[in-house]
Amino acid sequence: MTTTVLLHGPLLEQTGDFRGNALLLTGPARVGKRDVALAVAAQHNCSGTRGMYGEGCGICPSCRAFAAGAHPDLLIVEPRATTSTGKAARRKVIPIGAILENRDKGREYETHVFEFLEVRPTFRRRVVVVDGAEHLGAEAANALLKLVEEPPHRALFVFLAEDVRAVIPTIVSRSARLSVTPAPDRAIERTLTRAGEAPDAELVAFAAGRAGVLADREAVRAALTDAAEFTHALNTGLLSALEAAERLEKRWNADWHPEALRFTWRTLSAHERARADAALEALQTALEAYASPSLSFQVFVLNLREALGEG
């Protein structure tokens, strides 16, 4: 039984027999929406005997193609996280160029939705996963509507979003909505055990039921350690805090360090947490604006020490 089935099996029971054109999977960041979407795509292309929750058999040619990460009937569309210069994008968006090849002037997307759906499925059903439906530009969303209403070759769209309110209403209205909820801590512990690891109480608490945390657990553990060491240094003097900030800057992982810091600060008073969080948001804004990282982290230290009464 795969991790996705272990954590979200009951949800796959609902998607296995879905015969509509579009699903909208909503849920918190890193809860496992993308993994569920891939499991849905596998379900709808499986030619073997499906499992107890309706999941793909895992051994037919289609399931083996999914396991290899090279399935011909799957297209994942997502916003570009970097600009043409290689820097982090300030505003994520899925542009019209992701949908239509002739509108992709910068050649950002290798495969485009319209062209992908012109081809008949190799197995049973072509599946387009839109990871980040809230980032669909209005033009891109409108271009998708006709395809969603009358998909070529019975194609299936699976839209993923953290907040349904941020998704264009016309996409929401044409999709069957399902919530991907955090798994119980026991399920997270069983997943770690199946991976040959002893349950890690801190990791389980940090995960809070989100499967995506387990997929990158070594980076998460490193971020938690860095956050604890940095927070300790804040209380041992300005020089120690600045040295710790320099180390943190070199190891900074935008995906995990901000959340690890907030997790480490959970024992602070509500007032201290609010001020520390404001300092962290200011740091993230500065880094996204391409400000000097070293100076940004020094200012971060000063703001934090003031927030925690150490200034």
Task: Collapse the DSSP code of 186 into the 3-class scheme (helix H, G, I; strand E, B; otherwise coil) and give the result.
Answer: helix
The Cα–Cα gap between 310 and 304 comes to 8
Residues 131 and 29 in one domain: yes
> Which stretches in the chain have pLDDT values below 50?
82-86
Domain boundary among 181, 198, 233: 181
CATH number at residue 47: 3.40.50.300
User: Which residue, among 294, 296, 298, has the nearest Cα to 239 in the 3D structure?
Assistant: 298
8 and 130 share a domain?
A: yes
Q: What pLDDT is recorded for position 84?
A: 47
- 167 and 236: one domain? no
Q: What is the rounded CA–CA span in Å between residue 82 and residue 131?
A: 16
Q: What pLDDT score does 215 carry?
A: 87
pLDDT at position 105, please? 87
> Which of 125, 155, 181 delimits the end of a domain?
181
Torsion sign, CA atoms 288, 294, 299, 302: positive
13 and 147, same structural domain?
A: yes
Structure tokens that stand for 179 in this block = 């919530």
Instruction: Measure Cα distances from 208 to 183, 195, 203, 256 in Å.
Output: 8, 18, 9, 14
Look at residues 161, 185, 156, 212 and name the one whose alpha carbon lies nearest to residue 35. 212
User: What's the CA gap between 273 and 29, in Å, rounded?
Assistant: 21
Same domain, 13 and 58: yes
Tell whether 69 and 155 lie within a shared domain: yes
38 and 127 belong to one structural domain: yes
Same domain, 126 and 37: yes
| Whether 30 and 123 share a structural domain | yes
What is the b/e burial string over 12-51, where b = at least 16 CB atoms within 10 angstroms of the residue's CB?
beebbebeebbbbbbbbebbbbbbbbbbbbbbbbbeeebb
Which secondary structure element, helix H or strand E, spans residue 257, and what is its range?
helix 257-264
Q: Which residues contact 265 (CB under 8 A, 6 or more apart)?
A: 231, 272, 273, 276, 277
Pair (119, 29) in one structural domain: yes
Number of domains making up the chain: 3
- Residue 67: domain span: 3-181
Angle at 162 between CA 63 and CA 296, to 5 degrees: 115
Residues 209 and 234 in one domain: no
Q: What is the pLDDT of residue 81?
A: 60
**88: which DSSP letter?**
B
Give the per-residue pLDDT at 311: 55
**Is the same domain home to 167 and 19?**
yes
Nearby residues of 223 by Cβ (< 8 Å), 6 or more positions away:
253, 256, 257, 259, 260
